[in-house]
A = this chain, B = another copy of it.
Amino acid sequence: MLSYNDSEKATELAERANDLMEEVVLPKEREMAGGMAVSDGTLEELREAARDYGVYAPQIDEEYGGMGYDFRDVLPTFEEAGRSLLGAAAMRVDAPDEGNMHLLELHGSELQKEEYLEPLVAGDIVSGFSMTEPMQGGGSDPKMLKTTAEKDGDEWVINGHKWWTTKGIQADILLVFARTDQEAHPYEGCSVFIVPADADGVEIERNIPHLGSETHGIGHAEIKYNNVRVPEEHLLGQEGMGFAHVQERLGPARLTHCMRYSGMAERALDIATAYMSEREAFGSKLAEKQVPRHEVAEHRTRLAAARALIRQAADSISAGNEARLEVSMAKVFTANVTQEAVDTSLQFCGGNGIAKDLPIADFYESVRQFRLVDGADEVHKRVISREAFSDVKSEELEPVTRFDG
């Protein structure tokens, strides 16, 4: 067992989470094997268990129904949650609600917290996060955002076209990101609004058909906002500060996402390891063959490196830094390492890697998006390279400039 520099408090929480996973969530997942949809009462049942095990909404203040752990201490628990596609929802650390709750906790008014945060934490309502737009497809360039919100009396009027609004179809409320000042740079002219899903003009076009099946209830909607009116109290946080607010949501959210996928990748390797210890071919157990053994070693090592990087970034955030470089490094590294670990696990399970009796095929479909969401690989490399080229040591070239002269 590897040890990381987590606090005792963090470790204890993660151990309870591990118990929940081993004793409740994974058995439930196995029972549902073969890609069946989550039945109606399942989620409630799992959340009830999470409360019993003392790992329900650990990241939220007790005042609003959570457990009051700080970000750094709850981090290892996200990894446990990620070991099954059911885990995050059970512990109420599931996207996009987790991020939305975080935003509401940080910037919501007392009224907003009461009306939206508390029922979200309780699991009584569902929320969507409506930021990405179709024409941004090529990346995450904020200058390409077109959705607007204009003040009209004491109301805001929202117009725009969003997609990949996670849980958009089930959502009771949508957090909508829109330009409120067309003249300003988007970093200073955008705001976030709480929009009831049943408001006039909210047109949910469809759940976007996409990679991976929808067995676990998470779809991503395409939504048009046509003259949607919300009262001014529905502005979340400060007008014009949307980007800054969302950034506070995104930095840590990227790391929690990393931990969830790291947990998924570890689980995929656990399954592949168990599979190879059982099955044989050409005269010996797969687990005794050198190629899969060394491949597993390779992926365990890279995952250990990813987990060390994530924690390092989290330490820096906890110390009050923005840690943009560290977060970008952790994100791009983890996204690639987890995709590869899941891919290899699938390979070593042969036909059972593709079949959905085991969860690896689901993991394979799920993990692929991680190199695109929360900033595509290319966006993070852009951040990292900017830093790398910002501090050039020109004296290093003396031996050749001397010579060129």
A-side residues, CB < 8 A to B, are 2-5, 26, 30, 33-35, 132, 134-141, 144, 163-164, 208-211, 213, 269-271, 273-282, 286-287, 289-291, 293-294, 296-298, 300-302, 304-306, 308-309, 311-312, 315-316, 325-326, 329, 332-333, 346-347, 349-358, 361, 364-365, 368-369, 371-372, 376-378, 380-385, 388-389, 392-404
Q: How far is the CA of A180 from the CA of B153 in the complex (A)?
A: 75
- B residues in contact with A5, CB < 8 Å: 5, 312, 315
Known: A291-B378, A308-B308, A332-B301. A211 touches B361 (CB 8 A): yes
Are A209 and B273 in contact, with the CB atoms below 8 A?
no
Other A-B pairs, 19, CB within 8 Å; known A141-B281, A210-B354: A3-B316, A5-B312, A137-B351, A137-B352, A144-B281, A269-B388, A274-B392, A274-B397, A282-B382, A287-B389, A293-B382, A294-B378, A297-B384, A298-B381, A304-B309, A308-B309, A347-B377, A358-B396, A365-B365
Majority SS of interface residues in chain A? helix
Min Cβ gap A146→B in Å is 11
Are B354 and A368 in contact, with the CB atoms below 8 A?
yes
Known: A291-B294, A312-B4, A315-B5. A35 touches B209 (CB 8 A): yes
Are B351 and A132 in contact, with the CB atoms below 8 A?
yes
From B356, B380, B382, give the contact of A211 (CB < 8 A).
B356
Known: A34-B399, A213-B213, A315-B5. A137 touches B279 (CB 8 A): yes
Are B329 and A304 in contact, with the CB atoms below 8 A?
yes
Are A329 and B309 in contact, with the CB atoms below 8 A?
no
Are A396 and B271 in contact, with the CB atoms below 8 A?
yes
Q: How far is the CA of A393 from the CA of B267 in the complex (A)?
A: 10
